[in-house]
Amino acid sequence: MVRASSVCGRGLVMVHEARVRCAIYTRKSSEEGLSQSFNSLHAQREYCEAYIKSQGGEGWTIDRRRYDDGGFTGASMARPSLTRLLADIEGGSIGAVVVYKVDRLTRSLADFARILEALDKRGIAFVSVTQAFNTNSSMGRLTLNVLLSFAQFERDVTGERIRDKIAASKAKGMWMGGVVPLGYDKPDGSGDRRLRVNEAEAATVRIIFDRLIACRSLYDLQQQLAEEGIRSKAGRSRRGLAYPGMPFSRGALRHLLQNPIYLGLICHKGVTYQGRHAAIVDQQTFDAVQALLRQRSATWKSRAPDLERAPLRGRVFDELGQLMRPTFVRQRGRQYSYYLGPGPVLGMVGPNRTDLLRRVPCGLFEGIIRRRLGQLINKDERDITIEALRQMVARVEIRSDCTHVVLALRALRDHRRDLDTVAAVEARLASGDRVLAEGARPGHVRIAIPVRMKFSGGRTWIGNEQREIDADAKIAKMRARKRLRLAHAALGPALPAFAAHRDVVRTAMMPSADYNRFAWAFLAPDIQSAILHGRLSTLAIARLEKLTAIPLNWDVQRRLLGTTYAKGEGRGERADMIAKLSPTVM
**What digits encode the pLDDT tens for the residues 315-332?**
888 888 888 888 888 877
Other C-beta atoms lying within 10 Å of the C-beta of residue 389: 19
Over 50: is that where the pLDDT of 301 sits? Answer: yes
Kindly list the domain boundaries of the chain, sorted by start residue. Answer: 3-154, 184-303, 316-345+353-463, 473-585
Please write the tens of the pLDDT for every residue from 470-525.
667 788 888 888 888 888 887 777 666 655 555 544 444 444 555 667 788 888 88
| Distance, C-alpha 463 to centroid of its chain | 34
Angle of helix 525-532 versus helix 465-494 axis, rounded to 10: 130
Please state, in angstroms and rounded to a whole number, the distance separating the CA atoms of residues 202 and 183. 4
Please state, in angstroms and rounded to a whole number, the distance separating the CA atoms of residues 119 and 97. 9
Q: How confident is the model at residue 26 (pLDDT cuts 50, 70, 90)?
A: very high
Kind and range of the H or E run holding 516: none
Cα angle, residue 194 at apex, residues 189 and 195 outer, rounded to 5°: 100
Residue 6: the pLDDT is 42
Please write the tens of the pLDDT for every residue from 136-163.
567 767 777 777 777 778 778 888 888 8
Q: Between these two residues, 165 and 354, which has the higher pLDDT value?
A: 165
Cα angle, residue 419 at apex, residues 415 and 421 outer, rounded to 5°: 145
Which top CATH class is 184-303?
alpha beta
Mean pLDDT within 338-350: 64
Other C-beta atoms lying within 10 Å of the C-beta of residue 132: 9
Transcribe 476-513 into DSSP letters: HHHHHHHHHHHHHHHHHHHGGGGGGGHHHHHTT-S-HH
Over 60: is that where the pLDDT of 567 sits? Answer: no
Which top CATH class is 3-154?
alpha beta
The dihedrals phi and psi of 325, each to the nearest 5 degrees, come to -95, 145
Going by C-alpha positions, the residue among 78, 133, 68 that lies closest to residue 104 is 68
